[in-house]
Structure 1
Amino acid sequence: MEQAQPGSLMHPAVAPLAYLLGTWRGQGEGYYPTIISFSYTEELQFTHPNPRKPVISYAQKTWRSAGGPGAEPMHAESGFWRLKPDGSVEVVIAQSTGLVEVQKGTHDHEDKVIRLQSELVGNASKVKEISREFRLVNGELSYEVQMATNSTSLQPHLKAVFKKI
């Protein structure tokens, strides 16, 4: 089935997040007290494959910034986003590391800000909590990810800025 894009046939519940639909590419930085800081290139894809379902499909992949999309892969994840009738957002993500996240949060339609907080982090021996904030400003999508582990409190881990391609 063809994937809906903004302005085309889509489930009404998806419409407030339609600005996410498409492919985004940009640069990111990772840091944490227990690791060496690093930079990366990232691509995000948000699609709405079935206009009868109130779901956005999500796929993410990163690679070392020294190369392009064919360069050394670093991380990948995929999942689903649902905007609930009360305005809340539910997100389920499976990471290539085996870690699974169930997140819930809020969406500010006017400011185009999505704030997510983990309800469950599964299959993780060290990670205890993850939060994500997405923001659209002047056509650029950005995010910040915070993480808590067994030995550290919730603190910044990743940030990236994207342009739609």
Structure 2
Amino acid sequence: MAANFIPPLPSMPQSALHQAVQPLSYLLGSWKGNGEGSFPTISPFRYLEELQFSHSPNKPVIAYSSKTWKLGSGEPMHAESGFWRPKPDGTIEVVIAQSTGLVEVQKGTYDAKQRRVKLKCSLVGNATKVKEINRVFEMVDGELSYEVEMATNHTSLQTHLKATLKKL
């Protein structure tokens, strides 16, 4: 056997959804739609977004990613990714790394029947101006809607982003 030989990886067994992820399984998959943003320090804008929620077998975590593009030109705008860790008691821990260099640590709750996730900021790392980011995700008429609130050194907590996405 050659010294450079690397044996093939074993195939992953097909497993059921992890029990902790089950209440949020409606999120799994790809979502696409339009959003709008505003804040006192910037001009209002509109964007196209694609969200991805995925799950590895036997792991109590959901991988999350988001990419946005300017409407019209298709120019990339923002990207972020992270992990959602739902707990059996209805709480959830979320970490998100943004392409801007910010890192969010959020804690919150989910309501499986209402299909709503509320996230409150525990920490915004590597930020000079942003002090708080909160998020709410919910299913409305079969679509995934969300709202992001933000506070900075100079502004109080207020809506920054809103979007409505359809499952692909």
State if a TM-score over 0.5 links the two structures.
yes
Partner of 2:16: 9
Q: Give the alignment partner of residue 41 of structure 1, picking from 45, 48, 55.
A: 48
Q: Give the alignment partner of residue 121 of structure 1, picking from 124, 149, 157.
A: 124
Q: Give matches, 1:1-80, under 5 Å.
A: 9-48=16-55, 50-67=56-73, 71-80=74-83
Partner of 1:158: 161
- Deviations 1:118-141, CA, capped at 9 Å, x for gaps: 100000000000110001022100
Post-superposition offset of 1:110: 1.0
- What amino acid sits opposite 2:109 in the alignment? T
Post-superposition offset of 1:85: 2.3
Q: Supply the distance in 2 between the matched residues of 1:110 and 1:101 (Cα, whole angstroms).
A: 26
**Identical pairs, percent:** 66
TM-score (norm 2): 0.90
Partner of 2:7: none
- Deviations 1:19-51, CA, capped at 9 Å, x for gaps: 000000000000001100000000000000x22
Greater Rg over alpha carbons, structure:
2
Q: Where in structure 1 are there 5+ consecutive unaligned residues?
A: none
Partner of 1:136: 139
Q: Where in structure 2 are there 5+ consecutive unaligned residues?
A: 1-10
Poorly superposed stretches of 4+, deviation over 4 Å: none
Q: Give the alignment partner of residue 86 of structure 1, picking from 85, 89, 101.
A: 89
TM-score (norm 1): 0.92
Partner of 2:6: none
- What amino acid sits opposite 1:43 in the alignment? E
- Deviations 1:73-102, CA, capped at 9 Å, x for gaps: 000000000101221011100000000000
- What amino acid sits opposite 1:23 in the alignment? S
Over the aligned positions, Cα root-mean-square deviation in angstroms equals 1.4
Q: Supply the distance in 2 between the matched residues of 1:65 and 1:164 (Cα, whole angstroms).
A: 19
Q: Supply the distance in 2 between the matched residues of 1:161 and 1:91 (Cα, whole angstroms).
A: 21
Would you say the 8 A contact 2:16–2:58 is kept in 1? no
Post-superposition offset of 1:108: 1.1
